[in-house]
Amino acid sequence: MSMVSGIRRGRQKPINATTGDRVISINYPASGSVSGPEPTARKLSAVDACIEILSNSMAKLPNYVLNTSTMERVTNHPILYLLNTRPNEAMTPTVRKKLLETSRLEGGNGYDWIIRDEKTGRPKELIPVPWQLVTPWLDRGGRIWYTVMHPFTGEPMVLPQEDICHYKNTTRDGLKGISTLQRASEVIATARAAQEYEKSYYENGGQPSGILQTASDLGGVVPDPQNPGKQVGRKDLLRREWERVHAGPKNSHRIAILDFGLEYKPLSLSNRDAQFVESKEVSIKDIARFFGVPLYKLQEGKQAYSSNEQNAVEYVVSSLHPTCSGYEEEQTYRLLSMSDLRAGLEIRINMMAELKGDTASRSNWYKTMAEVGAFSVDDILELEDRPKVPGGSFRRMSLNYVPLEYWPDLSLARNGGEKNEN
């Protein structure tokens, strides 16, 4: 039975109060932490954008199986149905890959639960499991196990390493990845503090805090007008009345009438003096560095087409390629059979989908590869997701380039066999 089907049936089952059959909630990390079900860090637009950009990039990249012995693609391998068509009955491949990458960035670890056919042992479903529900651990023999909390019953399941694809972020022990949000926690906390301060600033009408100063003696207590029979200090009463009249957005810009020689002096820096714009730019740059996302993708930095085009290539090479390599290696080892591995098969990710916007660089690369005979027309069409054409399988090469040892004879033949005395 499919895991998703089981969950669906379990949710449809009525709660039995007499037997205590009920759904148990999962204890996620606190929502105020930098890494929770809805991490506070994602309230920062730069953090949310980085996670969305990276997860969307990974979600749109298709998989293929490559025979490394012949360097040819295997187009009929059954694992491609799970990777590119339907990983499970509840999700599209895009949803699954986006969930995995989001989990890897937020929690440091992405997990695929592999549901295998009981007879053949081949994968028949891939279920991405939120990182909060999985705990990897080692037994005394050094074997890796995964304790997985069922998302609806809360019951723990211990799964062997063969049934989990584990996609790690940066790791110190090789067993568990470290969240990007955790590594960037200080930068994120600083940016969140600035955001909260700015929010408070505007909620209070943009009026800075300050002091009320007078030469009169405000010591002693007086009857509290709000609590009959009780007394309140003169200073406390004055402060309370001032805040009642002038604090908050509804009371902003009201005219203050000061008597008894009172004088108001602001203490906090103004919004301009605090240089919020500059501090925001610094925070965005720091966050972008942690995630490896070019600034132009965050609508920051230099917006020039030529430089952004190069930044797009650098983004694929430096940010996506290492991540794709991790996915490829884990999926090859866990999802392919031993006979597939012995035959030299590997699961690869086609990163050309991310470079399709860079038409000039892509065209130049295709042209160069075709001119040196490395690519045929059909090879190029396959990378562009286009159908093959008649005669497109032949490779071509220019006759203008010949081995140096043949150059004198070919030069004579071109000149009619006559040696040029000049």
pLDDT for 332-384, tens place per residue?
Answer: 999 999 999 999 999 999 988 777 656 777 788 788 888 888 888 888 887 77
Mean pLDDT of the chain: 79
> Is pLDDT of 218 > 70?
no
pLDDT for res 217: 64
Residue 41 confidence class, pLDDT cut points 50, 70, 90: confident
Question: Phi, psi at residue 23, to the nearest 5°?
Answer: -85, 130
Average pLDDT over residues 306-312: 73
pTM listed for this prediction: 0.70
Q: What is the pLDDT of residues 46-68, one digit of tens each?
A: 999 999 999 999 999 999 999 99
